[in-house]
Amino acid sequence: MTRILITAAGSYGDVAPYTGLGVRLREAGYDVALATHGTFAPLVEAAGLRFREVPGDVDTGHRAGGRKELLRAAAAFVRDFGSGLADAAVRGADLLVLSTTTAPLGWHLAEALRVPAIGAYLQPAHPTRAFPPAVGGTRSLGGPGNRALGRFSLRMVDRVYTDAARDLRIRLGLAPAAPRAVRARQERAGWPVLHGFSPAVVPRPADWRPGLDVVGNWWPHHDPATPLPAELDDFLRAGPPPVFIGFGSMAAGDGERLGGIAAQALRAAGLRGVLQTGRAGLAASGDDLLTVGEVPHALLFPEVAAVVHHAGAGTTAAGLRAGVPAVPVPVTADQPFWAGRLAALGAATAPVPFAELTAPRLAEALGRVVGEEAYARSARELARTLAAEDGAGHVLKAVERLA
């Protein structure tokens, strides 16, 4: 039986979609393991996949401050992760499936193990004239400017991975090679990368090379027979659809302030709310408010009127899948990119940057996103498009060709 090793790193939204992809591959007859952080072991094992633990502090990047601190934190994160990735791979793999964050390390593993690798990315990472870099990008600089900035962004990524790649190649007995050189070699070989988002949300750039495809989402695994928590189900039935507010793994320790903003904004807009605690520790109390822990977005989002979120790739896709409009409050990384896409598609209000979030501003955005039908109509149209796509199926076909 062909052994597939999926590697993913980061926060919940960076890892959870690969559980659904892994299940699809397992159901096709492959032996599938997912290598990621120990905190996600229950998530992986609940999907019936083999779990291989890889170190790395998933909170490191969220605590970082300025640009230099962020780069240092990112380098430390990937160095920790890379130190354990070799252990996960040498336990057996005939094919590697690599996420956006793990590919710059996974290429070295594939070389050492002499096995094929395929990219399964949740974000667009290759330079293009169509838009600036998704992670850490700015407003559009025009075609040439966007592509130049994309190339610069990859140079910065390679810089972050320099120490981790050097250590990993020594560990694997490979000849020295700089990350930039390895990346160039992969690109010359036309290594396949499938992007797990809808072409209706981000069309495939016309200037991408062959082998870079946009195929549609793969979704976190959950048991569809699992009911919502009784308290949540009762709350949903007790009145009109509420608004969901949650910031996922962002804003650690800022829950009290955010809870106050959320409660004031909901009251001002005359809306009920479901607040998800997340890493921020978000919480508030009131007759028209309910605070919940982890609940699958696939179960909860179809029951709400709108979602307020940090615009991570996974949460953004989950809201579109449910056909509900959004108020995006991006914090960092690729979140401004997805927030901008939602607004451009008419499925969300203009983004409210996290640093500028106030109760009056959130209340005004909530009033528009719930009160103006155009937002919901756009979200429903996109949901119908996403329902007809099969991102995991495309990855399966690519795996079958390689395996």
What does the pLDDT look like over 329-365, one tens digit per residue?
999 889 999 999 999 999 999 999 999 999 999 999 9
Given a cut of 60, is residue 374 above it in pLDDT? yes
Q: What is the DSSP string of 274-290?
A: EEE-TTTT----STTEE
Averaged pLDDT, 87-111? 93
Q: Which helix (H) or strand (E) holds 244?
A: strand 243-245
51, pLDDT greater than 50: yes
pLDDT band of 63, cuts 50, 70, 90: very low
> How long, in residues, is the chain?
403
Token duo for residue 118: 């395929």
Is the pLDDT confidence value at 86 over 90? Answer: no
The answer to whether 102 and 7 are in contact (CB under 8 A) is yes
pLDDT at position 58 over 70: no
Q: Is 119 helix (H, G, I), strand (E, B) or coil?
A: strand
Residue 80 clears pLDDT 90, i.e. is over it? no
Q: Give the predicted TM-score (pTM) of the model.
A: 0.94
**Torsion angle (degrees, nearest 10) of CA 229, 12, 44, 105:** 180
Tokens of 236: 């949903």
Lowest mean pLDDT across 54-68, 229-243, 339-353, 380-394: 54-68
* Residue in this structure with the two tokens 């290759």, named with its chain if needed: 126
Asked whether the predicted pLDDT for residue 292 surpasses 60, the reply is yes
Q: Rg of the chain's alpha carbons, rounded to an integer?
A: 21
CA–CA distance, 50 with 5 (Å, rounded to integer): 9
CA distance 304 to 301: 5
pLDDT at 60: 47
Is the pLDDT at 181 greater than 70? The verdict is yes
How confident is the model over 162-176, as pLDDT tens digits?
A: 999 999 999 999 999
pLDDT of 81 reads 85
Asked whether residue 1 carries a pLDDT value surpassing 90, the answer given is: no
Query: Any residues with CB less than 8 A from the CB of 344 and at least 6 apart, and which?
Result: none
- For residue 318, give both structure tokens: 């989950």
Contacts of 114 (CB under 8 A, 6+ apart): none
**What string of DSSP letters covers 35-102?**
EE-GGGHHHHHHTT-EEEE----TTHHHH--SHHHHHHHHHHHHHHHHHHHHHHHHT--SEEEE-TTT
**CB 53: neighbour CB atoms within 10 A?**
16
Here the tokens at position 272 are: 């009920």
pLDDT digits (tens, 9 = 90+) for 134-159: 987 678 999 999 999 999 999 999 99
- In this structure, what token pair is assigned to residue 281? 């520790």
Share of the chain above pLDDT 90, in %: 79
- pLDDT value at position 10? 87
Exposure of 17 in the CB half-sphere (CA atoms within 13 A): 31
The stretch 38-58 carries a mean pLDDT of 90
> Are the C-beta atoms of residues 398 and 194 closer than 8 Å to each other?
yes
Identify the pLDDT of residue 136: 76
Whole-angstrom Cα distance, residue 327 to residue 24? 32
Rounded to an integer, what distance in angstroms lies between the CA atom of residue 149 and that of residue 138? 9
Mean of per-residue pLDDT scores for the chain: 92
Are the C-beta atoms of 61 and 44 separated by less than 8 Å? no
Q: Among 18-32, 69-83, 274-288, 322-336, where is mean pLDDT lowest?
A: 69-83
Beta-bridged to residue 310, according to DSSP, are none
Q: For 117-121, 190-194, 251-255, which range has the lowest pLDDT when averaged over its residues?
A: 251-255
